[in-house]
Amino acid sequence: MMRRLTRRIVFFAVLASLLGFCLPQDRVGAREETVKPQSFPDLYEASIAELQAGLASGLFTSVDLVQAYFARIEEVNLQGPTLRAVIETNPSALAQAAALDQERQLTGPRSPLHGIPIIVKDNIATLHSEGMNTTAGSFALLGSVVPRDATVAAKLRAAGTIILGKANLSEWANFRGRVPSGFSGRGGQASSPYVPLGDPSGSSSGSGISSAIGLAAGALGSETDGSIVSPSQNNNLVGIKPTVGLTSRAGVVPISEHQDTVGPMCRSVADAATILTIIAGRDPLDNFTLAQPTVVPDYTKALDKTALKGVRLGIPRGFSPGNQNIIAAFNASVEIIRLLGATVIDPTDFPSLAEIRASRNETIVLDTDFKVDVNRYIADLVEVPTGVKNLADLIAFNSAHADQELVEPFWTDQSTFIASENTTVNQAYFDALAADKDIGQTRGIDATLEMFNLDALLLPTSGASGPAAIAGYPIVTVPLGFQPANTTLSPAQPTRSMGPNQPFGISFMGTAFSEFKLISYAFAYEQATHNRLKQLAFPEAIPKTQLTDIVGK
């Protein structure tokens, strides 16, 4: 149940926050770690560096931050625009914040994330004893007891991060069936803060919404194919989809060990780089992480405004979306990137483009992996009060609890579950795995980079996820633009697929473990354009509570 906090907002605080929203260009700087706030940072856009500076100076505490974010969640989650971004908040967060405040006074901060509240997707395990569930949005796992924190959650905690709550998501990371993005049985139907009842995309829907409007300092999402970069795009965020194996998936409710990855969804490249530096690294509980370089880079050292100078980028036009507003904004940004010193080769289509378009290999791999991987995940749980033991039980549970899970009229389908249950690990599966590697890596991304002597690929985010998904390669998406104000508002069924001011993004894609370079290019582009605050969320979706309403009250 959501924590209910009394909102203590006075007139001058509201006026101050509204005036802050009227200064978009000044709110997106390079976010240097030496930022020293002279006043409370605006929580709609506050960077991790700004929050750390305020904590270090004693302007406010982590307890204040948690209280402020809880109040902001309360305003818009199940009230007002009912965005349904957060499934539950952490009942231990205030006590953890108080302990971290005391530790800061005694011994100093552990890391740049010390005392910083972060939202994590509800497929990322957190200790049951802390008071939160890990359910992938499903009532079938409600009350289940995980054996340990997910490794990425444990890394956040070790860095002094406060896990503020669990974000809503497309249930089972959008792998149950043909169901609108952002719906889960437990969380309901999430929607966009930019288009009323708009599609938030998924499956990391709540992570995107929460980060976009300052319900936390940042968020973690997960991606199999598009589930970080697509909701980052729709919610006007920076999203990093890491190479498969850079961040551990241990303790994350799975779809596929071959494509799943966990990454940050934040308001700036700097914040995303800060979080990625903490969560990356080898983990004996996830063999895929053992293939990564021995030393994890400090990705904040990639934050170089001049990084595009002398770089060669290629545009694989074969993956471009059909929306002409996106194409026009993308083409304009290509010229900006050239002015920043990059050489842009256009087009640079994959040798395997036609095969990728026609392939069903990804479906074969994901359907087969899910049955194996989710059965293993459930078997590792300490306790499952609902009694489900495997995928077949999940299908039966949904049928028996259709009023909670298979809800009329939009959310009734579980055909992907059923297709997965009917799979076996056979030669067709191994052939599909090999084919994906061939067309995604060898004759896809890697061949294109080599053929045109490129450092990275550049494309609209709408077309970026597929080739990187089957390759297991990284993407960094950055805000690019917004649909025009005269865009026709789509009907709500139950969410709107299109509407005025709907955000879209631009992506930098590369080979395995090229995140440092991609982050540097993304940062240089972000700092040259400052696109994010050219359009705010719609007014009702912007929480009004600020630190001034909390500190000393």
The β-bridge partners of 464 are none
Q: Cis (ω within 30 of 0) for the bond into 37?
A: no
**Number of neighbouring beta carbons within 10 Å of residue 396:** 13
What are the tokens at 128?
């049951």
Tokens of 13: 């605080």
Which residue has 């998904």 as its token pair?
469
CA 417-203-271 angle, to 5 degrees, is 150
Q: Catalytic residue at 121?
A: yes
From CA 51, how far away is CA 36, in angstroms rounded?
Answer: 9
User: Residue 63, class by beta-carbon neighbours within 10 Å (0-12 exposed, 13-18 middle, 19+ buried)?
Assistant: buried
Strands (E) located in 359-461: 456-460
Q: What is the DSSP letter of 129?
A: G
- Residue 482's φ and ψ, nearest 5 degrees, are -140, 150
Check 17, 191, 201, 203 and give the catalytic one: 203
Contacts of 42 (CB under 8 A, 6+ apart): 17, 20, 21, 27, 214, 546
Residues 327 and 266: their CA atoms lie apart, in Å, by 24
Q: Which of 210, 294, 311 is nearest to 524 (CA)?
A: 311
Backbone angles phi, psi at 353, to 5 degrees: -55, -50
For helices 361-380 and 391-400, angle between their N-to-C axes, nearest 10 degrees: 90
| Token output for 444 | 């896809």
DSSP string, 223-237: ESSSTTHHHHHHTT-
Judging by DSSP bridges, how do beta strands 261-266 and 312-314 pair with one another? unpaired
Q: Which of 227, 248, 256, 462 is catalytic?
A: 227
Using a 10 angstrom Cβ sphere, with 0-12 exposed, 13-18 middle and 19 or more buried, the burial of residue 475 is buried
227 included as an active-site residue: yes
3-state secondary structure of 206: helix
Q: What is the 3-state secondary structure (H, E, C) of 179-198?
A: CCCCEECCCEECCCCCCCCE
In a 13 Å sphere around the CA of 36, the CA atoms on its Cβ side amount to 2
Q: Which of 17, 121, 166, 191 is catalytic?
A: 121
Q: Give residues with Cβ within 8 angstroms of 294, minimum separation 6.
A: 282
Tell me the β-bridge partners of 407: 411
Q: In whole angstroms, what separates CA 14 from the centre of its chain?
A: 29
Alpha helices in 8-167 (DSSP H): 11-21, 48-57, 62-76, 93-107, 151-158
Residue 2: C-alpha distances to residues 5, 95, 132, 161, 167 (Å): 9, 17, 11, 21, 12
Catalytic site residues? Answer: 121, 203, 227
